[in-house]
Chain A
Amino acid sequence: MHTPDRKPDSGGFKDAIGPNIDTTNPEAAKWFWEKIRDRYVKPYGFDYIWLDETEPDIDPAKDVFFIGSGTRFYNAYPLFHTISVYEGFRRDFGEAGG
């Protein structure tokens, strides 16, 4: 995620970890799922994914989401984050799982 002037917001974390991913952006959601699919699901057949932190670990209040302001969509982050993986799974593996 980035600030209104399009600067990536890494919060208090080191650059190696980087900003929150903005899964309200369909392109980012697709990228996120495809990384998980290609690195974990396809090679190993996992069908139960531990996403762990589905909250924005960096406070998004001063950032902008693809769909609107960080304050307006502040709490909706977990909804979009889980949609990215759920819908990707369904799209690529259907009902049967990986």
Chain B
Amino acid sequence: MILARAAYLGAQRNGTVFWSSDIVSTWDMLKRSIPAGLNFTASGLPYWDTDIAGFFSPSLPADYHAEHKPLIDGSEVRGTIGHYEDYPELFVRWFEWGAFQPVMRAHGERNHNEVWSYGKRAESILAKYLKLRYQLLPYTYSVAYRSYQTGAPYMRALFMDFPDDPKAANIPDEYMYGPAFLVAPVTEQGATHRTVYLPAGCD
């Protein structure tokens, strides 16, 4: 296989996985990456992923504080995260989403990508999702094989599975990961819940 950045129609024939390039490690980037991926896979290139937790570390002002109290305490890993106090939470949320991307990869200019590098609380969640990813490998392999057979992506916007629901046509932050999972990542800092739209006909 080939991991590559820039794509062109037809390049899906070449055993390619495309990633969304050198993006900045912010909540805004996490949020915008979901529709970016859905648009990408809708153009016929099924293998897409992101650098989990972003590539470039943003330069934060010296008096930076998270908008809400971080859900994952980073005080024990200050040497790794500096004063980006909500970075462990961002890493965890992005990693959770990564378990449901066509390929799961943690990468960035930072020094650490290990599940144990962002504190004990983060570690238990990251380990859980890493195990989930491995548990799902037979499923992911099967839906990927379906993409190989049909050309249709297995990470795909709701309109592809729910064409009769006009409301499903323009939802940027939910998608299907194969036929079994509707994925709705949490992309708000400090959020412990979010609303999920269930398309008509899925009950």
Contacts and interface: CB of A to CB of B under 8 A. Distances in A.
Contacts of B5: 51-55
Given A83-B14, A86-B14, A86-B15, A78 B8 contact: yes
A85 interface: yes
B66 interface: no
B1 A51 contact: no
A75 interface: yes
Given A82-B16, A86-B15, A51 B10 contact: no
Contacts of B3: 48-52
A28 interface: no
B11 interface: yes
Contacts, number: 59
Interface residues of A, number: 21
Instruction: Give the size range of B's interface with the partner.
Output: 10 to 19
Interface string B1-22: 1111111111101111000000
B33 to A, nearest CB: 19
Contacts of B14: 79, 82-83, 85-87
Interface string A7-30: 000000000000000000000000
Contact of A55 (B1, B6, B9): B6
Nearest to A49: B2
Nearest 10 A/B pairs, CB to CB: A55-B6, A86-B14, A82-B14, A54-B4, A79-B8, A78-B6, A50-B3, A78-B8, A54-B6, A51-B4
Interface of B: 1-11, 13-16
Interface of A: 47-55, 75-79, 81-83, 85-87, 89
5 contacts: A50-B2, A50-B3, A54-B6, A78-B4, A86-B16
